[in-house]
Structure 1
Amino acid sequence: MASKLDLYKIFCVVSKRKSFSQAAKELYMTQPAVSQAIMQLERELDTRLFNRTPKGVTLTDEGAILFEYANSAINLIDAGEEKLLEFKNLTAGELKIGVGDTISRHFLLPYLEAFHNHYPNIKFKMVNGTTTEICSLLKSGEVDIGVCNFPLEDSALELRPCIDIHDIFVCGEKFKYLLSKPISMEDLVKLPLIMLERKSNSRNYVEEYLISIGIKVSPEFELGSHDLLLEFAKINLGIACVTKEFSQEDLNKGQLWEVPVKEELPSRSIGVCYLKSVPLSPASTKFIKIIERQQV
C-alpha cells in the first residue's frame, strides 16, 4: 500500500496532467495503479477529488483546495531535498530567484555574472513576478530568494535591504519648460502622468506618499514595465514617474530630463528576502554575500 506522501505526489501529478494515463507515464506506473492510488486517497479523505470524463479528469472544488496545499507542500519537500545536494561544495544544484524584469536588467545582472564565474555548476532558475507574487513564490517553495522593491511588510520573511533608490519624474522635449523652476506636486499631477500599473509595489509606494500629503493621482497611462515608462516619456506622451538609478543612461544622453519638484519623494530600497522558517541553502547564502559585499 502506498504511503500518504506517495498518494499526494500521485494526486498532484494527475491534477497537473488532467489524465490518469499521462500521469502514469510521467510516474513510470501503470494506469490502474494510478487509479487505485487516487481511489485510496479519496476513501481516506472521504471526499471525491476528481470528476471523471471520457476526455480525462478535472478537479472537484474540494480537490482544487487540496491541490493548492498539497502542491506547495510537495514543492517545499523537493526544495529541501535539492538543498541537501548543494552541500557538496556547491558542485551541483540550482538557485531559484524570484525577481521582476526591471530589477533583473538594471540591478541583478552583474551579481549573476559574478556568482556564475565563482560557481559555474550551479544552475539559475529565474521566476518573474511582482513583489506580491514573489512573496507567494517564496512561501510555496518555488523560489529560494526574492529580489524586489522595499518597503515590504511580511512577518514570515527576512528582509535585507541592499541599495537605496529614488523615484523621480522625467519628461521629453515637449515638457522641457518645466525645468526652469521646481514645480509643486499639486501642479505636477494636473499634467498627463505616466505610471506603472497599480499591482506594482513601486507605484503603490509613490501613490501612498502622495495621498499622505493630500494629493490624489490619476495617471493618463498605466504601463507594465519601467522601460515602457521611459519610452512613452521620450515621445512626449506625458511625465513619467521612474526610478532614477534605472534611468540614468537616458538622462545622461539627454534623451530625458528630470523634472524638479518642490516635494521630493522619499527614497526606498531594493533588497533580498527569504523565508525565516527555512534555512538558506549554501548557494543562496553565497549569492547574497556577493550582493552585499559589492554594495559596501
Structure 2
Amino acid sequence: MNLRQLKIFLTVCQEGSMSKAAKKLYMTQPSISQTIGELEQELNIKLFERINKHLYLTYPGEILREYSKRIISLLEEAENTLLDISNLKTGKLRVGASTTIGTYLIPKILSEFRKKYENTSIFFNIDNTAVIEKQILENSIDIGIVEGPIHSQDIIIEPFIEDELYLVCSKGHRWALKKVIEPWEIEEEELIIREKGSGTREVFETIMSANNLKYHIKHVLNNTEAIKKAVELNMGVSVLSKLAVSEELKKGTLVKIEIEGIKFKRMFNIIYHKDKYFSPTFKAFMEYLKSGRR
C-alpha cells in the first residue's frame, strides 16, 4: 500500500465512480480499476461493491477512507511545515469564512496580511457557518472565522470581535417613522431571512425563541445582497449584521428598527481543529487576527 494508491482510492470515494475519478486524475478508467484491484488484493478485502451500477463503500472501505484522509492530511502538513521552515515568510494557508464575515470583513484582513507576508499563498472560501465547520472537521481548511454557533467538540473556538444584528426595513415601511417597535409587532411582519445553516439565521432564531416570540418567514435567500435589495423594495423586513447594512443605513435606503428590550448580539469566532498543527504561517495569521490591526 502506497500514497499513490491511497490518493486514487480517496478520489474514487470522493467522486463516487471510477470514470469520474479517472477524469479528475487525468488517468484512464482501466488504470483506476487496476489500482483499486491491486489494493484490494494486497489487503485481502473488498473496498467497494457495485449495486445498480453505483459504487458503495464496504465497511473496510469506510475505515480505509478515514485513514487515507488522515495520512494525506499529515503529508500535506509536513510539506507546509517544511516550506515554512525554509523561509518564514513563505507558506500556505487555507481560510474559510462564513458569509457575512467573508463578504464584508475578511477581504481587508487578508489583503493587509499579504502585505506583510507577500509570499504566502492564501486559499480563501466563503460559505455558511455549518459548511465552514464541516470543512474544519474534514481538514479542507486550516482556520475559519464564523458568525454562527459551532457544535462539534473537536473544534477550538476563540472569540474574535463582537457583532450585532440589526432589524432593518425600507424607508417606505410603516416602521420607518417609528424607529422603535414592541416585540410582539415582529410576529405580524413578513421576514426575509438567510438559509438554514447560516449563523445569522441561527442567532436570530435562538434569541427569538429565548424571548418566546413567533415569526413568519416569507422568503429564504442565501445571499445577503439579495436580501438587502428585497428589503429596500419593501418586500419584507430582515435581520442582518451591522457590517452588511452600514452603507445602506448611511444612504437612507434602509432604516434600522429597535425592538424594545431585545438586542441581537453575537460574537464572531476564530475556529480550528483541536489537533491542528500550528505552522509558522498559521501562528502568524492568528497573531495578526488578535492584534487588532484591521
For these two proteins, the number of residue pairs brought into alignment is 290
The answer as to whether partners of 2:93 and 2:123 remain within 8 angstroms in 1 is yes
After superposition, the C-alpha distances for 1:140-195 in whole angstroms (9 at most, x for unaligned) are 11100011114434321121211111112111122154432521221122112111
User: What is the letter of the counterpart of residue 155 of structure 2?
Assistant: L
Selected match of 1:83 from 76, 80, 84: 80
In structure 2, C-alpha distance between the alignment counterparts of 1:293 and 1:278, rounded to whole Å: 21
After superposition, the C-alpha distances for 1:48-103 in whole angstroms (9 at most, x for unaligned) are 525499xxx95324287457525532442243123222222334332101113431
Selected match of 1:72 from 69, 72, 90: 69
In structure 2, C-alpha distance between the alignment counterparts of 1:156 and 1:149, rounded to whole Å: 18
Selected match of 2:202 from 188, 204, 227: 204
Selected match of 1:240 from 235, 238, 241: 238
Alignment partner of 1:158: what SS? strand
Q: For structure 1, which runs of at least 5 residues remain unmatched after alignment?
A: none
Tell me the equivalent position of 1:192.
Answer: 190
Tell me the equivalent position of 2:45.
Answer: 46
Change (3 A) 1:238 1:51: same
TM-score normalized by the length of structure 2: 0.85
Q: What is the aligned-residue RMSD (CA, Å)?
A: 3.1
In structure 2, C-alpha distance between the alignment counterparts of 1:42 and 1:7, rounded to whole Å: 10
In structure 2, C-alpha distance between the alignment counterparts of 1:30 and 1:252, rounded to whole Å: 58
Alignment partner of 1:117: what SS? helix
After superposition, the C-alpha distances for 1:221-254 in whole angstroms (9 at most, x for unaligned) are 1110222221111111111111123211110111
User: What is the letter of the counterpart of residue 45 of structure 2?
Assistant: D
Change (3 A) 1:239 1:91: same
In structure 2, C-alpha distance between the alignment counterparts of 1:229 and 1:257, rounded to whole Å: 14
Structure 2 matches for 1:143-158, cutoff 5 A?
143-158=141-156
Change (3 A) 1:213 1:45: farther
User: What is the letter of the counterpart of residue 156 of structure 2?
Assistant: E
Change (3 A) 1:92 1:31: farther
Q: For structure 2, which runs of at least 5 residues remain unmatched after alignment?
A: none
- Structure with greater strand share of residues: 2
User: What is the letter of the counterpart of residue 225 of structure 1?
Assistant: N
Alignment partner of 1:175: what SS? coil
In structure 2, C-alpha distance between the alignment counterparts of 1:285 and 1:293, rounded to whole Å: 12
The answer on 1:259 being equivalent to 2:220 is: no
The answer on 1:60 being equivalent to 2:59 is: no
Alignment partner of 2:167: what SS? strand
Tell me the equivalent position of 1:214.
Answer: 212
The answer as to whether partners of 1:76 and 1:140 remain within 8 angstroms in 2 is no
In structure 2, C-alpha distance between the alignment counterparts of 1:270 and 1:152, rounded to whole Å: 11
User: What is the letter of the counterpart of residue 199 of structure 1?
Assistant: G
The answer as to whether partners of 1:164 and 1:267 remain within 8 angstroms in 2 is yes
Alignment partner of 1:170: what SS? strand
Change (3 A) 1:29 1:88: farther
The answer on 1:120 being equivalent to 2:153 is: no
Q: Which runs of 4+ in 1 moved over 3 A?
A: 13-32, 34-37, 50-53, 63-68, 176-179
In structure 2, C-alpha distance between the alignment counterparts of 1:24 and 1:100, rounded to whole Å: 31
The answer as to whether partners of 2:148 and 2:202 remain within 8 angstroms in 1 is no
The answer as to whether partners of 1:147 and 1:270 remain within 8 angstroms in 2 is yes
Percent identity over paired residues: 21
Selected match of 2:139 from 138, 141, 146: 141
Quote how far apart the aligned CAs of 1:7 are: 3.3
In structure 2, C-alpha distance between the alignment counterparts of 1:223 and 1:170, rounded to whole Å: 16
In structure 2, C-alpha distance between the alignment counterparts of 1:180 and 1:264, rounded to whole Å: 16
Tell me the equivalent position of 1:276.
Answer: 274
